[in-house]
Amino acid sequence: MQPTLDQIGQPGRPASEPGDARTRAAAVTPGLLRRAGNLTIRHSILALIIVACVIFSVLEPSTFPTTANLQSVALGQAVSALLALAVLIPVVVGEFDLSAGYVLGFSAVLAAALGGEAGLSGALTLIVVLLVGAAIGSVSGILVARFRVNSLIATLGMGLAVSGLSVGVSGGQTLSSNIPTLFATVARTSVLGLQTAVWLVIGVALVLYLLLVRTPLGRKMYATGGNARVARMVGIRTRLLKIGAFAAAGLLAALAGTLQLGMSGAADPSFGSSLLLPAFAAVFLGSTTVRPGHFNVWGTLLSIVLLAVGFSGLSLMGVPFWAQPVFDGAALVIGVLLSRSETRAQLSAA
């Protein structure tokens, strides 16, 4: 009996022969390996978090895997996570905002001054602070988009100016008197075992994710960050998008400042700038996971969790406090290197 067309694998050889089976297996194997590799990269940060949790749970079984410690880590990183999301937005459009940490500190000081010393209501104080944060971001965006000032220079200058305002408003002192209870309520109310600050971060992250991934505006932002000149040629208003990105970053940084005030009950004029490094570390490290090669929301949050879990475990093991900036700096360098490697790999594949 002659073999049918479906049975023919190669000319003169039926498909059922062992050689043809080996050929098909060899063809399938690279695809499976490639998909497995992509899956590993896509969830690499999550895998590292799980490994770190297992290791620290074994090394510190009486302190690390407890509910109290996990809740403390989640609440302690709420402000950092919100600042990282603020930093993420300008990065998506191809710019950097070095003023976000200073805006955070100034917003906490301004809220304490308006609500505590000036006697404004908590709601009015919150609205004013958020508007001021958005206004500061808008100025940075105008300097970058309209006057073509390098974003690193423009936002560093704005940050230094804002830090001076923080000292001027506070008189160089920590403000802690008559803070409106609204800020503590927004930050520390427990809902389903987590404080509202954590839920607020999750809500902001969800909205930002939907904006960036599920809307035409988000696609335009990514296009602007990829190549602003090409984006302008196809009709995208890149200047307006960049100004809006900086304004949104200022708004979220101001919100993070009010959360910090509600959590600590005081506003330190020097607080905020130290959170900028881990925020950028999370953004760049996050671009290597979930959506490798793209700055993304969930990768950023997972990176914040990884940094928090790592330092929490090290702290419980007795590592001195100065190890945190070393840890964050190393994570930033690694994140940048991995992000560049992933981008080059994608360009090579294209």
- Core vs surface per residue 218-250: b (16+ CB within 10 A) or e: bebbbbbbeebeebeeeebebbebbbbbbbbbb
DSSP β-bridge partners for residue 10? 13
Residues 6 or more apart whose CB falls under 8 angstroms from that of 61 comprise none
Average pLDDT over residues 295-314: 90
Give the separation between CA 4 and CA 21, rounded to whole angstroms. 17
Picking from 242, 235, 244, 249, the residue whose alpha carbon sits closest to that of residue 145 is 242
Give the separation between CA 225 and CA 221, rounded to whole angstroms. 6
Give the separation between CA 300 and CA 144, rounded to whole angstroms. 24
What does pTM read for this prediction?
0.85
Helical segments of the chain, H only: 18-42, 44-59, 67-76, 78-92, 100-112, 122-145, 151-170, 181-188, 196-214, 216-226, 228-233, 238-264, 276-286, 297-316, 323-349
Per-residue model confidence as pLDDT tens digits over 143-187? 999 999 999 999 999 999 999 999 999 998 999 988 999 999 989
Residue with the larger pLDDT of the pair 244 and 340? 244
Most confidently predicted of 26-40, 49-63, 95-109: 95-109
